[in-house]
Structure 1
Amino acid sequence: MGKGFYISKPLGFVLFGLGVGAVLTIFALSVVYSQEKRKNEVNARDGTRMVTTAAPHSTSAPSNEPWDKYRLPDTLLPEYYNVTLWPRLVPDEQGMYIFTGKSGVALTCVKETNLIIIHSNELNFTLTSEMHHAKLTGLGGTSAPVILKTWFQIQTQFMVILLKEKLQVGKSYWLYMEFHGELSDDLGGFYRSQYTENGVKKVVATTQMQPTAARNAFPCFDEPSMKAVFHLTLLHSAGTVALANGMELGTENVTIDDQEVLQTRFEPTEKMSTYLLAFVISEFTNLRSPPEANVLIRIWGRREAIESGQGDYALSVTFPILKYLENYYNTTYPLSKSDQVALPDFAAGAMENWGLVTYREQSLFYDPKVSSNEDKEWVVTVITHELAHMWFGNLVTMRWWNDLWLNEGFASYVSYLGADYAEPTWNIKDLMVLQQVQRAFGVDALVSSHPLSSREDEVITPDQIDQLFDTITYSKGAAVLRMLSEFLTESAFAKGLHNYLHEYAYSNTVYTDLWKKLQEVNSSIQLPASINEIMNRWILQMGFPVVTIDTRTGSISQQHFLIQPDAVVDKPSDYNYEWFVPVTWMKSGSNMGQHWLLTKTASYEPMKTDTDWLLANLNVAGYYRVNYDPQNWERLLTQLTNLNMIIHRAQIINITLALRTTKYLYEEKEYIPWESAIRNLEYFFLMFDRTEVYGPLQTYLQRKVKPLFDHFKVITSNWTRKPPRYMDQYNQINAVSMACKTGVKGCSELTRMWYRQWMKNPDSNPIPPNLKITVYCNAIAAGGVEEWDFGWQMFKNSTIAAEAEKLLYGLSCTKEPWLLNRYLEFTIEPNLVRKQDVTFAIVYISGNVIGQPLVWDFVRANWEHITKDYDDGSFFFGRLIQGITKKFSTEFDLQQLQRFKEDIAASSFSFGTQAIEQAIEQTKANIKWVSENKVKLCAFLDFQKN
């Protein structure tokens, strides 16, 4: 290591881990480097490429009438709602669960109109007069026009009210309606969840309004900019408790239609968007914060879960995280309470409803006797993500869904800051690049990716909005905001956020409003352009650059990075796929600094060296990959091999060099290097586990992981105790998992021994919580029907969501095709596998080399049945397709996928084209990578035998 410069060992491990990068990009980088040698030609071509495309397909019906457009007209604004809802938690004579309701909305006319257009979907309305479904009256002495006609536009989900005369500008009116709907189990809108406790079936009425399902619960102006105050009353049966965004004002007994029910009224909400409205009626109980806390924190869930202590950890971290975020934003939490509710059935991980956050059980509950470190980390990260939204998203909200990335990307980024505050010994911020940045790279290197922010008129229909809830929005959004915070400094970034929240509280913004506030507090920071000019290049065009540094000449250049470098990009960019790139760097000497790359190519003398290694994009703070000349790669690799330091390896030139970086792993004991290596070696397993390459690859990696397996056997006293260091507890999972995967002697015997002990005494599970998912998978894979049936019974009996999730995965590992087929049939039976878990179970089975073709056939044969009940269709479809097709790497796979795309296009299935396009592109990249690298891999493995 150069004199005067020191990299701490923890930082070194982090840099190593962050740098391994996606092995999928290895071939692409080799092509990128060869192209860089012809950079004048390349730059000329890229600089003049004109991409043309057809005008965006119109999402409106042919009619130009306002009710045939998907966006609300700008003629009316809601001020407040009064909503009363009564969900029935028992079925009626037809076996249906229903809810009834009545609602009124005060609306102000801002432009003259004789139409009231309001969202309504899957609701049946009572006639409030002889002919009409609504009643209109004036407020403040204003007279209301007569209603001529009401009707429903099913495609655009509107109730349309035609008036005899026009509404007056500046006047307010009251629109009243009565209705009923089905409390279905589709996990969207106002829906039902159910569970069994002490042998008794319990039903929960709950909500998921985001993004466009508030209209399924009551008629409303269901767009994020249509903020209003909500006055809510819930009717519910004796023995249940009602929750909503606001604090309960009181509950009383009332008689309605000869029925005795409870009526709970709530304090009015703050002015907010419809998608943040939430209410829950259940028999849940709660834990609560002590009286001296200035904000009431309550953790709600099934009585058995709460009484067994599963909510204790969530309660212990929620208030500290809330206070941390108040300090971070320098803005007080504006509500009097924060309820966190764990639901047995929930499609997403959690939802940031203001004052009433809802979660999957495994996202809120933690049992130290059963749950793993990863389960605990997930809980604290999700809680922070949702609480971050209380300000960024709820207090200040995007104007339209095309800026969803700002909400979700910001919360994803801040979740690591808050979790690190809550658990400072975990070093959780070190994992952000592995979990977010690298994940975003994988999708954003496809031509089927998309910009973070689109024009409003490109995101119109509910299906188009649904498709935005993807990796780009969450992970790339987090990565880009992290980069911005890094080059502005975290303190300046936080100050700009405070000013942004203060100015736009209770209103709506576009992303440039944030840039403006950040610019105002960063006038002293030397930037090459305004924040708006810098960041628009990262926001308004898809993809990211690979920055190539030639240390022999000091030249530095950038190029749009694609998995397939010769792919045709048919999406135009005003910035010609050129970025303003903050390139941080250091040398083996004492030199380090930052240079802004503002053009395709540049020359930067300080990066020139003949002897020193040079490392760029420190801590992977920038959202870009780095490539070097071969000589610098060799110098970096030498440093790695000699273990003088552990370096950042974000890109590798070719497959041989990539595998050379794994040769030293037999000496490695730290978690982040091993985790990085395993994540990327997984691509090799995906591509080759059905080929003759798999055996030699397994043998090679077996020699690398055996010392790690033996190391943990020693430090845990023959697997009888937990490793003392937190990161070692994670790495023990890697040691056992990879040892079993590669056939290290003793591993399979260990997992089968633990599992057999459990089978002999089902009430006492001897398996260490951190190792459960590995043990379940390997023991069931090595066993037969007896092991599978035991696992299935334990899954059905589990009252802890995290435990059930581990078994759900473990059951997918069996090598018996008939058991896998039986498991697939179970997944589409709601009484056997919850709807929220269907996608995960199917994708888990597809990860099994034996299960993958079974899943592909099963999904195509049962497609209509699988998808018909899902309200979150695009999100479900994307996860399913990505999971099922990740092993596709042959021309036959590609042909089948393309045929499936044609079948879907010819059906009534209206969404998911983006997911299929990405799968097709990924499959093409897999085919090319395998064809270019299979022979090289075989040669490398053959050489290692000697």
Structure 2
Amino acid sequence: MNLIVWIFTHKLLVVLIAVIISLALSTIILAIENRKLRNEIDELIAKETNLTEMNKYRLPGMVKPILYELYFYPNLSTGLFKGKVDISVDILSTTDSISLHSHTLNIDNVHISSENGTYSLDQSYQLLTIRKTDQSNFTPGKENLQIEFSGDMKNRIVGLYTSSYKDANGESRRMATSKFEPTYARQAFPCFDEPNMKAKYKVHLLKPKDNSYIALSNFPVSNITDYDKENQLVSFEETVSMSTYLSCFIVSDFAHTETSFNNDGKMIPLKVYASPDNLQKTQYAGEVGKKVIEYYVNYFQIPYPLPKLDMVAIPDFVSGAMEHWGLVTYRETALLYTNTTHSTINKQRVTTVVAHELAHSWFGNLVTMNWWNDLWLNEGFASYIQYKGASAAEPTWGLLDQFMLDLHAALNFDSRLSSHPIVQTVLTPDQISEIFDLISYKKGASILRMLENTVKETTFQQAVKNYLNLYAYKNAITEDFLDEVQKLVGTVLNVKELMETFTVQMGYPILTVTRSGDEYTLTQKRFLADSTASFNKSDSAYRYRWSVPVTYITDLGKSSSFVLFNYNADSIKITRPTGAKWMKFNHDQIGYYRVNYPKAEWDDLIAHYGNFSVADRTHLLEEAFSIAEADLLDFEVPLELTKKLSAEFDYMPWSVAYIKLRSILNHLKWSGSDQEAAFKKYVIDIVSPAYNNFSWNETVDYSHLDRLARIEIFYLACLVDHEACLSEAQSYFNRWLKTRQPITPDLRRIIYSNGMKKANKTTWDALLEIYKNETDASERLKLMKGLTSIENEDILKKLLELAKDETLVRSQDFFSVVQFISINPSGTDLVWNWVRSNWDYLVHRFTLNDRYLGTLIPEITSTFATQERLTEIEEFFKEHPNAGAGVASRARALEKVKHNILWLSKNKKTVEKWIRKNSVL
């Protein structure tokens, strides 16, 4: 009794002790390798914190769904829908209520095993709570929930929604479709909308009786019956157990092409659906899909789990694609391709996106992360495995090397304080939506690539196979996969320790090299784009140190011995092989880290640039610039390295060069430097040999990589006002506008954008009419790039208002249009002012849960480099404090502008001095 009195009189002390205990438990948990014990502690903590935010957003877990029998009645004319669902559930422990998710739905009736029930809705947490009418408890065992509901499909692009297209006669054709990841299934039907709440589905969809209309879901059709005079009810076979976000429902008048793939000796139908007028553009996706999925069946040594595979091109789709199991949905630009309409870049995108989504059939669908904290288990794996699948389909494209460009994007994103760990606790729908970013996708993929290289390909593949078999139709956490790798690796490497340094803490290291004779000493520290930024090392259990698998290559060959720079070591020493003339660390940039050398070593590497593989050449360019941008290397080093580009003709080095040289040009332009013209002249000098190596006329001699290189080189040449490039682009544009004779697809975007820069209103209006009449989604984006490239601010302002019209710019493309205009120097300030003035409109239309709205601000302010602009951004955030799914994006925007300001103060004079020395006007 005295203890109770003491507790109530010392509440603050009790809370402090509880916090200390909680932090101590978290530290202990991190060190515990026994997963069972860790889970028991997690459950204990959860029971003791029933009033935390986690328990408000998470379902209690006392009830599990077994089977959804789901009826949807969409009305394509009104855009409304009705539905009913019978959910068989398993009550695991006595409870007075059953909670599940529901959002934006009208709940019309609730029954519990045919008896009336009572219910309440909590809009804040998107919960539907059901109780028995007599208020008695639910006891362990089976129950059935019957819920009738209705909703609105209009003016939305998630949940169950309407899409439309215009047919060859200009008639609008409507369809109903769905997109549920991550937390939007609850907007279509009441459900247990968490990834570890797997269940089976029996689906029934209403469709018009018109024979041109079809209904699709995850499994094949089992029966079609007349519902009334105008509609039919399509029933589907019962599915395997899967998470809510993987279910999918489509009613449309689409047509399809069909092939089949060998699924461990059994042929499975593979159909590609699109609007009838786009049917001829589905052939390539079917061919790629067949090759990719047959590769996966062989790679995973696990047959594709379902009886059919459909891929569908949706006219309105918020993401690039979505891996709904058995019914994969895509934005049209990610699935449709013909060589007469689409570019080489379009073709590669179709290949890699198809490969990504089909990889999810195993990673994500068959085995699903237990909670969104481990999203990378889905997206990181698919983002890496896609390169293996796509390379199997198109082996001459060098895709395994091209992965480096994704790696660079991850390294750039992860070099800022606004980054986040791969494994991060998320609770709310906004937080969940926000982590669908470069860290979960591209950093996740990058560390898997590094792990595979460390443990070797066969070991990695076997661990993947074992993991998938062990957790098939179940859920898993990061440690589960690492356990399978550890079993095969044995005691030679602590896999969990190595990987945790990259998964539970954000960022990555830079290894600093010093040399004494043939002995190299490597030390490490956290790499930040702003080297002056401060952070608290104690925020991470590993104190922002990493276990780094170090590789190297010399002129005598690549390293064969395993070298691990452990996170708790101060340094490591590596001896250069006897007789080697040069030594480069992180061969082919497999490792997720950076390396900085003394000036003499950089000079030596630059001197041998031509001796390196295309991957190592690309690495040196990206690395030197990134380290210099962080003020850890004299900017003269990467600038000197650019001189080697005059003899470079490969795609990847020029892809990096385009990004880095454009960045310098932006800094010079926006700071009013008197060296902007001289720098353009220098870039013209180094790009001209490569520019002259290619032709504006199409030739069959160009390989896939040649075509990609030509695009990058022409873009850069025109960007720096290369006279011949601008002249050719303008000439092609004028001729096309007059005759409408087709331009080679690879060059359309560069021709449209450069041809429109100096255009008048009459020419712009003519291009707008062409855009309005164009039906191909990829071509429309190219035309829109042209429309946004004009230098007339009044026209750009008009276009921003026109973009609000969804008949002109689909919602899925709206942010692309805004960003296109912001890239145009004539539109940068215009867009920033427009977004601030129209923020309420944007929030109302897209909601703060839209992660694309969240990323808009850092995209449109990325070139800002003054204190005035920084203050404007800060004031805007104060005026609109609710960031929704854009919390980290706001921090990233501020960090980027601060970095730009710092860049000018640190590097502008050095760069200008170098330009004066190396460019003659």
Give me the TM-score of the superposition, normalised by structure 2: 0.89
Q: Percent identity?
A: 33
Q: CA deviation at 1:784?
A: 2.1
Please state whether the residue corresponding to 1:939 is helix, strand or coil.
helix
After superposition, where does 1:200-599 map in structure 2 within 5 Å? Answer: 200-239=171-210, 240-255=213-228, 259-289=229-259, 294-306=267-279, 309-434=280-405, 436-454=406-424, 458-523=425-490, 526-527=492-493, 530-552=494-516, 554-570=520-536, 572-589=539-556, 592-593=559-560, 594-598=562-566, 599=568
Rounded to whole Å, the distance in 1 between the matches of 2:875 and 2:53 is 38
- Contact 2:260 2:267 (8 Å CA) reproduced: no
Can you list the C-alpha shifts for 1:195-238, whole angstroms capped at 9, x where unaligned? Answer: 11122111110001001111111111110000000110001112
In structure 2, the partner of 1:810 is 786
Rounded to whole Å, the distance in 2 between the matches of 1:59 and 1:110 is 17
Query: What are structure 1's unaligned runs of at least 5 residues?
Result: 1-57, 92-96, 127-132, 139-143
Can you list the C-alpha shifts for 1:367-415, whole angstroms capped at 9, x where unaligned? Answer: 1101011100000100010000001100010010010012101100011
Rounded to whole Å, the distance in 2 between the matches of 1:855 and 1:202 is 33
CA pair 246-353 structure 1, distance change in 2 beyond 3 A: same
CA pair 589-345 structure 1, distance change in 2 beyond 3 A: same
- The match for 2:635 among 625, 636, 655 is 655
CA pair 66-666 structure 1, distance change in 2 beyond 3 A: closer
**Larger deviation: 165-174 or 636-645?**
636-645
Rounded to whole Å, the distance in 2 between the matches of 1:738 and 1:922 is 23
In structure 2, the partner of 1:129 is none
- The match for 1:737 among 715, 719, 728 is 715
Aligned pairs, number: 850
Rounded to whole Å, the distance in 2 between the matches of 1:792 and 1:771 is 19
Rounded to whole Å, the distance in 2 between the matches of 1:867 and 1:608 is 60
Letter in 2 for 1:934: K
Computed over aligned residues only, the root mean square deviation of the Cα atoms, in angstroms, reads 2.3
Can you list the C-alpha shifts for 1:695-716, whole angstroms capped at 9, x where unaligned? Answer: 1211111111222222224xx6
After superposition, where does 1:80-229 map in structure 2 within 5 Å? Answer: 80-91=67-78, 97-126=79-108, 133-137=109-113, 147=117, 149-163=118-132, 164=134, 166-167=136-137, 169-197=139-167, 198-229=169-200
Q: CA deviation at 1:418?
A: 0.5
In structure 1, the partner of 2:849 is 873
Rounded to whole Å, the distance in 1 between the matches of 2:260 and 2:853 is 43
In structure 2, the partner of 1:52 is none
Q: CA deviation at 1:261?
A: 0.9
- Contact 1:235 1:262 (8 Å CA) reproduced: yes
- Contact 2:802 2:808 (8 Å CA) reproduced: yes
Letter in 2 for 1:858: W
Can you list the C-alpha shifts for 1:578-604, whole angstroms capped at 9, x where unaligned? Answer: 111000012334573442111352241
Letter in 2 for 1:546: I
CA pair 871-508 structure 1, distance change in 2 beyond 3 A: farther
Can you list the C-alpha shifts for 1:630-680, whole angstroms capped at 9, x where unaligned? Answer: 221111112227999974415322211111111132222222222221122
**1:793 and 2:769 aligned:** yes
Q: CA deviation at 1:169?
A: 4.4
- Contact 2:285 2:351 (8 Å CA) reproduced: yes
Rounded to whole Å, the distance in 2 between the matches of 1:499 and 1:343 is 35
CA pair 695-481 structure 1, distance change in 2 beyond 3 A: same
**1:825 and 2:801 aligned:** yes
- Contact 2:220 2:237 (8 Å CA) reproduced: yes
Rounded to whole Å, the distance in 2 between the matches of 1:582 and 1:161 is 53
- Contact 1:188 1:872 (8 Å CA) reproduced: no
Q: CA deviation at 1:944?
A: 1.4
Letter in 2 for 1:244: S
**Larger deviation: 645-654 or 478-487?**
645-654
- The match for 1:710 among 681, 684, 692 is 692
CA pair 629-233 structure 1, distance change in 2 beyond 3 A: same
Rounded to whole Å, the distance in 2 between the matches of 1:600 and 1:564 is 25
Can you list the C-alpha shifts for 1:157-209, whole angstroms capped at 9, x where unaligned? Answer: 11112334554544101110111100123111001111111221111100010
Rounded to whole Å, the distance in 2 between the matches of 1:591 and 1:332 is 37
Rounded to whole Å, the distance in 2 between the matches of 1:756 and 1:903 is 46
In structure 1, the partner of 2:734 is 756
Rounded to whole Å, the distance in 1 between the matches of 2:686 and 2:80 is 59
Letter in 2 for 1:671: Y
CA pair 600-773 structure 1, distance change in 2 beyond 3 A: farther
- The match for 2:655 among 675, 678, 681 is 675
Query: What are structure 2's unaligned runs of at least 5 residues?
Result: 1-44, 625-632
Letter in 2 for 1:937: V
CA pair 68-685 structure 1, distance change in 2 beyond 3 A: same
Rounded to whole Å, the distance in 2 between the matches of 1:622 and 1:448 is 22
Q: CA deviation at 1:99?
A: 0.1
**Larger deviation: 182-191 or 745-754?**
745-754
Letter in 1 for 2:503: I
CA pair 322-944 structure 1, distance change in 2 beyond 3 A: same
CA pair 59-684 structure 1, distance change in 2 beyond 3 A: farther
- Contact 2:414 2:506 (8 Å CA) reproduced: yes
Rounded to whole Å, the distance in 2 between the matches of 1:469 and 1:201 is 33
Q: CA deviation at 1:911?
A: 3.8
- The match for 2:702 among 708, 721, 724 is 724
Rounded to whole Å, the distance in 1 between the matches of 2:297 and 2:380 is 19
Rounded to whole Å, the distance in 1 between the matches of 2:52 and 2:46 is 13
- Contact 1:78 1:107 (8 Å CA) reproduced: yes
Q: CA deviation at 1:522?
A: 2.4
CA pair 59-790 structure 1, distance change in 2 beyond 3 A: farther
Rounded to whole Å, the distance in 2 between the matches of 1:881 and 1:925 is 16
Please state whether the residue corresponding to 2:533 is helix, strand or coil.
coil
- The match for 1:638 among 607, 615, 636 is 607
- The match for 1:894 among 857, 870, 875 is 870
Please state whether the residue corresponding to 1:425 is helix, strand or coil.
coil
- Contact 1:109 1:167 (8 Å CA) reproduced: no
Give me the TM-score of the superposition, normalised by structure 1: 0.87
CA pair 290-76 structure 1, distance change in 2 beyond 3 A: closer
- Contact 2:482 2:495 (8 Å CA) reproduced: yes
Please state whether the residue corresponding to 1:868 is helix, strand or coil.
helix
Can you list the C-alpha shifts for 1:571-625, whole angstroms capped at 9, x where unaligned? Answer: 8100001111000012334573442111352241414999832100011111001
- Contact 1:559 1:600 (8 Å CA) reproduced: no
- The match for 1:78 among 39, 61, 65 is 65
